[in-house]
Chains A and B, each alone.
Chain A
Amino acid sequence: MSAASFRIYIQGYIRRFSAPVLIGACAIVVVDCAELALPLILKNFLDDLEDGVQGRTLNQILLGLCIVVVLQTMCRFLWRYFMVRSSTLEAAHLRREFSKKIFRKPIASLGRSRVGALMGLVTEDVEAVRMFLGPGLVSWIDAFFFLLTIPVLFLWLDWRIALTVLLPMFSIPVIFAKNQKKVFSLSQDVQKRLGEVSEYIRESVSTLRLARTFVAESGFIDRFTKKSALLTESQRNLARVQTSLTPAVEVVVVVSTLLLVCWLPFVGLGVVVAFQRYLQRLVWPLSASVMGFFLFQRGAGSDERLTSFFSSEETESLPLKATTHKPLSPIGLQEPAIEVRHLSFRYTEQSAWVLQDVSFDLMNGEMLGIRAPVGRGKSTLLSLILGFYPVERGMLRVLGKDIQDWDLEELRQRVSSVFQEPYFFRESIAHNLDPTGQGLYADAAEFAQVSELVQARSEEDLSERGALSGGQRQRLAIARALVRAGEVYLWDDPLASVDALTAENVLKSIRLRNQERKVAMLYASHLEAHLKFCDRVIHVA
């Protein structure tokens, strides 16, 4: 049950933030005590006023009032500051953990279609947990104090009336218990649909051009309307329960008040009035506990999702240093640079083999072409060399070390790759080429024959998909890969959209350069015109 694990999480939170939570809780208790003291001071004042006593007593009463006001003012600030501060810090901590986690998860679990769900996790779910740890916990402490003290005051005033008045109150825990499961599953439902709709929006935003090109807008909008209606429906179901609970609690208080009034002829007026005042006081803590209850249920659901996310599989480590890499000393001439033996691969156990029994060696200074028909695994092979998927069958050694023994970050520093369809981050061209901001990309841009573009538009944001042509994007990707001098180059059809003349120039110069520097290069392509620059061409199927 997730409520139980959420309780454990809350305990951990209180332990971690024990000092501020304790100060906050104490401040709440002081505020509440002052709240309870106020009627007593005023009662004294009225009694004195009736007796006609003035002077010193009045000053004492004023002093008492001042103390109450100062205490309330101070402690109201303190509890908010400390309780809410801790919850905000915890939320920031969760978001930071989330950020770390996405860098450690296997690449397969971070596909396009997961973005919406992940965003929901870091936005809505973290917020739900924070809302309980802050306002939720406060309302519970508050409610706890009044629910504990007011009945005692009742008993002290008159035990017979107290029992009558408190009797209906016992139905409140029953109401809560009955609705607990319902609220939990309904909030889960809402969160799930929220995730679906956000993902749909995100996908639609990135496929707007496509939808318009094919005049398929209405189809996308209809699908959205349906999803949106489902979300609203589940939100409405939750709201139905939510909006019934507070009135239900009020009904209980009304019944208690009516029972109290029945005692009027038998006891003094003062007692009844005092009871009535305190009953009114109870309304707030009771509705606060309703609010806390909802925040708890929502938080529990979110905590469950967050926990399962945080405990999900990790395949990579995250170097916590933000500094750029120190240049690694070259490993030296390990021959061969890449050694592949009987390598087979498929994405899942159910799917077909993408690579079957592939074997080859790549020597230093060699440019090895890979020719593969459409739909066969040349991109997969390069992904395996970069350690994106675990090798299950066969052997893959890079720079003299088995792929499984490599620290992936170090491996990728030594291997310089260009993908067929390059991704650029939503930042300037300069920052995409050299994210350190040092702007050390002039040579690489020159080499990739893209320096004119880079010089003219280096500060331009790459947010517009249409702003660069396919050929420009590909050459930019080559420049980006060349900014770091690797020992092995993996290029996946990087010149397919580039015109023949430019492509030839780039290929000629990279070949020359690699031979000089003894750099090994895998060049996957389907274009014979490009493959003819390779020393040797193999088939992968």
Chain B
Amino acid sequence: MLHSLQLILKRAVYHPLACFRAAIALACLALSTSVSPRFLAQVIDAVSRSEWSSQAIYYLFLYAGAEIFRVISLFVVSRTLSGLGLMVMERLRSDVFSHLYQVDLRTMEALSPGSVMTRAMFDVNAMVDFFQSGVLFTLGNIVTLMATWIGFFGLAPEMASRAFLVFLPLCLGALFLGHKIRQAQDQSREQLATANSRIADYILGMKTLRALAQKGLRYHRLDQVVTEYGRMQFKVTRQYALLHPMISLGVGLMMILWVRRSGSLGLSSTLSLGAVTAGIAYVQLMVGPLTELADRWNFFVNGTVAMARVQFLLDLPRERDGTEEAPTFENLALDCVSYGYEGERRILRNFSLKVTKGEWVGLHGPSGVGKSTVLQLISGFEHPTTGRVLWNGTDLKRFKRTSLRKQMGWVEQFPILLSGTIEDNLTFYGALSVNWKEWEDRLSPFPVAHGLISLRHLRIGEGGENISMGQRQIVAVLRAILSRPRILILDEATAFFDAAVESEVLGIVEKEMAGLTVIQIAHRSTVLSRMDRLVQMTPVERSERTS
């Protein structure tokens, strides 16, 4: 917990002005809260001595001033802290989000989007409550408690130390319970993430699970995690329910001790009526802060738990990246490359391939033989276990990934479309500026592609439902072409096209990639026949050969 607290504080320090303002306002609040009862006492004393004297009026004004000052400080403190919380939250959210784009993809894809979303949204949001409710009340009440004890010890050291003997186990008990609560909270958050990721999984796969007649089974499975989350949430509240009675009991015991002791001693020169009253007041003064601490501790704990969970995202390893800008593509080589998932299964062994500028290379072979892996190696998403990937003769590792990928265009096997219009998909929400007039002319011999360009303002419906798989694939081809790549990589890009459209797409590729490089995975001879060179890949048990 200390570690998460440290992390949050580090983030708060990014905003020194707000921190400074909050600290000053907090000090003002503490000061005015502690002096204003004294001024009131002075007013009462003055009035009881001699009606409304000028002294009484003076103290009355002081009291009013202190109260107004207190309310203003309270206002400034809560506003500054909530502002600080919002700033910390927004920055954290942005940091998390941009970090996601630098994390190693393999690590990233092993996490469920639902769980990442829970962390990046709901856990980040807990920062606001942490500052707005947690910090204010925790800090404020700890300060008040300390002041109360100092006052108590000053009043009657012997009695105070007796009371402290009750207070100490109370604190230890509360800390122990607090620790338990934190653990339970942690588990319940984790369970929430599990439940959320399953919900997201089932919503996304709803069509499949219905088609497979698995509704009952899947509902039951979802219900299990949801129920488990409810159980854990209940565990947290049950432990919370123990915290308050503990405080009541502790403070009550202190009160009984004080009353018994002062009652049996009786009034004397050392124990005045005022002192007994003050003692009672001190014990009672502890009730408020302790209760509030117990109440708001929740937000505090929640914040630290959430921070630890957010930090998990921020600690995900970054993608390996080079430092140099990649030169313009001339040639590419896989030099005796081996590759295997986690070292258990070899997909490639001593595989070599060379592609030079202007060449069209086709990869083919049975599925699962590692064709896609070759493409992943070329684009730097995966790294060879042994061997090297060379770009213009230099190890690919040395170049910045973005400078490599800018020279490549990709068409995936199952293209993912973004929510938005066709244009959004083609230009990545306007990141790419495209002269549509020019492209409409260029693509005029190709009816389907031309049609999609003229329909570019059409919003793609729910999950691309109003656009077919084939049209999706053409969108993917177009978006790869529009970025004007030096190498075009097609991973089974024509698998879903019928002959007419296939030849149209290949026509587009031929027209736009003339003189440039194309690497393509395909099965069909109609596609492979357009390639300059074919590479037949065979499973690693046998030896690879290139033709």
In the assembled complex, the CB of B152 is this many whole angstroms from the nearest CB of chain A, namely: 16
- List 21 A-B pairs, Cβ < 8 Å: A50-B273, A62-B260, A69-B249, A99-B226, A109-B462, A112-B204, A119-B118, A119-B200, A206-B416, A209-B105, A217-B98, A235-B86, A258-B63, A316-B215, A319-B215, A325-B213, A351-B466, A374-B468, A375-B470, A426-B112, A496-B496
B320 to chain A, nearest CB (A): 13
Q: Which of A96, A219, A284, A527 contacts B226, CB < 8 Å?
A: A96
Q: What 5 pairs between A and B have smallest CB-CB spacing?
A: A111-B462, A471-B367, A374-B470, A69-B252, A92-B230
Which residue of B is nearest A480, CB measured? B212
* Residue among B44, B196, B219 with most chain A CB within 10 A: B219
> How distant is A328 from chain B, measured CB to nearest CB, in Å?
10
CB atoms of B223 and A91 under 8 A apart: no
Q: A251 an interface residue at 8 Å Cβ cutoff?
A: yes
Interface residues on B, range: 35 or more
Q: Given contacts A103-B219, A221-B101, is CB(A228)–CB(B90) below 8 Å?
A: yes
- Taking a contact as CB atoms under 8 Å apart, the answer to whether A88 and B233 are in contact is yes
Interface contact A426-B252, CB-CB below 8 Å = no
Partner-binding segment picked from B46-54, B178-186, B509-517: B46-54
Specify the chain B residue showing the minimal Cβ separation from A376: B468
- With contacts A116-B117, A205-B117 taken as known, whether A463 is within 8 angstroms of B219 at the C-beta atoms is no
Q: Are A46 and B273 in contact (CB under 8 A)?
A: yes
Query: A85 — which chain B residues lie within 8 A by C-beta?
Result: 234, 237-238
Interface residues of B in 237-270 (CB under 8 A from A): 237-238, 240-242, 244-245, 248-249, 252-253, 255-256, 259-260, 262-264, 266-267
Q: Which residue of A54, A122, A211, A484 contacts B101 across the interface (Cβ within 8 Å)?
A: A211
In the assembled complex, the CB of B11 is this many whole angstroms from the nearest CB of chain A, namely 15
Inter-subunit contact A208/B245 (CB<8 Å): no
Q: Quick check: is A160 within 8 A (CB to CB) of the other chain? A: no
Give 1 or 0 for each of A486-500: 1 = CB within 8 Å of chain B CB: 000000010011111
The contact of B116 among A73, A91, A201, A273, by CB within 8 Å, is A201
Task: Determine if B21 is an interface residue (Cβ-Cβ < 8 Å).
Answer: no
- Given A205-B100, A243-B78, A264-B44, A218 and B431 touching (CB < 8 A)? yes
Taking a contact as CB atoms closer than 8 A, the residue among B64, B74, B79, B276 that contacts A49 in the complex is B276
Q: Tell whether A536 is near chain B: CB-to-CB under 8 Å.
A: no
Contact B211 A49 (CB under 8 A): no
- Give the most central of B108, B221, B237, B242: most A CB within 10 Å: B237
Asked whether A213 lies within 8 Å of B208 as measured between CB atoms, the reply is no
Q: Is the CB of B98 within 8 A of A221?
A: yes
A187 within 8 A of B: no
**Whole-angstrom CA separation of A502 from B364 in the bound complex:** 13
Chain A residues closer than 8 Å to B227, beta-carbon distance: 92, 96
Inter-chain CA distance A324–B217, complex, in Å, is 7
Q: Which of A453-507 contact B (CB under 8 A)?
A: 453, 456, 461, 463-472, 475, 480-481, 484, 493, 496-502
**Would B256 and A113 count as touching, CB distance under 8 A?**
no
Contact at B94–A111, with CB atoms within 8 Å?
A: no
Partner of B471, one of A198, A216, A375, A467: A375
Q: Is the CB of A475 within 8 A of B215?
A: no
> Which residues of the partner chain B approach A318 to less than 8 Å between Cβ atoms?
215-216, 219
Per-residue contact bits, chain B 350-381, to A (CB 8 Å; 1 contact, 0 not): 00000000000000111110011000100101
A72 engages B240 (CB within 8 Å): no
Q: Within the complex, what minimum Cβ distance (angstroms) separates B309 from chain A?
A: 14
Which of A45, A73, A214 has a CB less than 8 Å from the CB of B410?
A214
Given A207-B418, A318-B215, A221:B210 Cβ within 8 A: no
Query: Apart from A119-B118, A202-B116, what 12 extra A-B contacts exist at CB < 8 Å?
Result: A42-B259, A81-B238, A84-B241, A96-B226, A217-B101, A247-B72, A373-B500, A425-B202, A426-B198, A463-B111, A464-B109, A468-B368
The answer to whether A72 and B252 touch (CB under 8 A), given A45-B259, A92-B227, A202-B113, is yes
Q: Could you tell me the distance in whole angstroms from the C-beta of B505 to the nearest C-beta in chain A?
A: 10
User: Which among A111, A207, A420 has the greatest number of chain B C-beta atoms within 10 A?
Assistant: A111
Contact A464 B252 (CB under 8 A): no
Residues of B within 8 A of A52 (CB): 266-267
Q: In whole angstroms, how far apart are the Cα atoms of A251 and B75 in the complex?
A: 11
A514 within 8 Å of B (CB atoms): no
Q: Which residues of B contact A254 (CB under 8 A)?
A: 64, 67-68, 71
Q: How far is the CA of A60 from the CA of B465 in the complex (A)?
A: 79
B318 interfacial by beta-carbon distance below 8 Å: no
Which A residues are in CB contact (< 8 Å) with B48?
269
Given contacts A347-B466, A421-B469, A484-B213, contact A80 B266 (CB under 8 A): no
Q: Which residues of B contact A197 (CB under 8 A)?
A: 93, 121
Separation in Å of the A138 CB from the closest CB of chain B? 11
> Is A110 part of the contact surface with B, judged by Cβ < 8 Å?
yes
| Complex-state Cα separation, A225 to B86, whole angstroms | 14
Q: Taking the nearest CB of chain B, how far is it from the CB of A238, in angstroms? A: 9
Q: Does B428 contact A (CB under 8 A)?
A: yes
Interface residues of B in 380-430 (CB under 8 A from A): 381, 401-402, 405-406, 408, 410, 412-414, 416, 418-419, 428-430
Do A484 and B244 form a contact, CB below 8 Å, given A49-B263, A469-B368? no
Report Cα–Cα, A132/B97, bound state, in Å: 31
A355: interface (CB < 8 Å):
no
Asked, given contacts A50-B267, A201-B116, A347-B461, whether A469 binds B74 with beta carbons under 8 Å apart, the answer is no
Docked CA distance A62–B479 (Å): 83
